[in-house]
Structure 1
């Protein structure tokens, strides 16, 4: 149980209450659903499992509860899905398809296209991509013409090369551009939900095939606002790295004609869990307006005098000739599951249009008991 006042754990989204909801959905959908068998199997050993382990555990617990005839089981899952109350419950029932349906790819893909509307089938489609990529990608290409934005998003999200939390697909690892026809079909999609997936998919490719991505996006017309948005967000990793071609694709030059009148970080010394504030005063020295992309890079202290750098987005703006701009941003310096801080000097660079324009620093102190 979650202690009083503590934040709930992600895994608790698939706790006992969720099991009861799934069981109720099955019972309401068909008398053939074995509620007792499901609850017994799903409850056994649930507690220590992470959220995605629970997804797989629940999927396996559905096996004794559903009809053993696979098409009948899919029909029952379709009837259950609208009665679920959270997307992760739907993820668990799509996982049943992933674990039981690879012998019937066509029926399974059709079911995933139906079920994705209630949560997402992006994880469940990975085994089918691994087993028969050509056939599965063909179905996903057809999904790009669906009138349902959830299905169109699944076409892009399901074949992302670096989909978080998902199993890696060997073919996508070998060639992360296999989903290119799907991305082409969705590059001006009217739904923000779909556009975000397309941009994230392209950003995955940027990490391994940056030249391919830059060449492909250079050939896209950005007359449509939807495509313009996708291009900017797809290039975010390369823009943070100051890649000149990426900056050019969003109408920004490499470097800028500006003077930095002030770049400061406060406080100069802080404890873990406290915020820093960055302030920058910029003045244009150009004879015409400039598009600026302002980022900052923190060099995190590491043991043994080493550092590890990470770039953060700050602001995009148009600066008229001779004009000034004052920027301010706050960031709390605290530990995450993916980043652990160490005491010492942390340098910070001010980056404008891919070039370092100024530097500052703060010192982090960590005492025993700091959050």
Structure 2
């Protein structure tokens, strides 16, 4: 190949990578930032204007998380669906329709069904998009963090839209605006798989679990489950908790800060992993998130709440990046699928765990979330100290046999 031909080929690859990167980022913004998390800033409006109780609100949130788990499991059982453009487009339409249909009823069971469908759609779009991005960025996997940052972009735009509409706006209008946002952001999903690198035809060799890795992976799985429980409590109830503490003027602004902080966080944590082991960084991120979630439950000081929002946004997607990287380093078969399932189960358990406390307000729920995250940090610390090898000359993910 000539030098000019090699240069042209390199430029083509770079163009493909950039094309899939921005498409993936916008797809995740629609699926996660809007499809999953628009409920957080709209929840206080629904409580005030649609007489939604805290108890019913928790069940609606749980229905969405059950849908997300179902969507993830669907692609685990039928992996070929992740390569179907038609399947992906259908679920984008379901996502937008389920959001737009929210104002058509004031019946909590109907809302539960709609949020369940939105959860399934969010999972399908997230998993398919993430896989397409990783396949295409095989030569530069560190760039994938910018695609995951699309989640923060979606949170910022949906939270900002609700903030701009103001507390006097109808909750139904907020849902309709978010549906439009999801449609606009999700439009690149239509051509996402067409631009992605096709999967390799070479089947991956199956690996047996090395002695010691099962213990290490079990600790990682438990720690990530606890992260799912603790983080989702804040992700669901943070804005409502601030309204409960007479800080409704700050609530949606704080949620926008969460989104802004989440945009670059995955890239930053990925870069830090070049100098520190992923379990070490996971412990640090979980401890930071513990403080961020518990702080609004302890104080209504606006400065403390703003700081907590930034730290929470800067850790929740970073923890996902680090946990999946740790699972990959351990080389446990189907590690990503198992971790995603544990995380999904944690997100279902979170709202249910704090539901009995919601009669006393949302702040006790945030304290419970912080306590659960502290437990997750201790579990991952046990992984780091007892099962993760970091001596010179060892490979990342090596485990101790003792």
Name the TM tier (shorter chain).
Answer: under 0.3
Judging by fraction of residues, say which structure has more strand.
1
Judging by fraction of residues, say which structure has more helix.
2
Q: Which has the larger radius of gyration?
A: 1
TM-score normalised by the chain length of structure 2: 0.22
TM-score normalised by the chain length of structure 1: 0.23
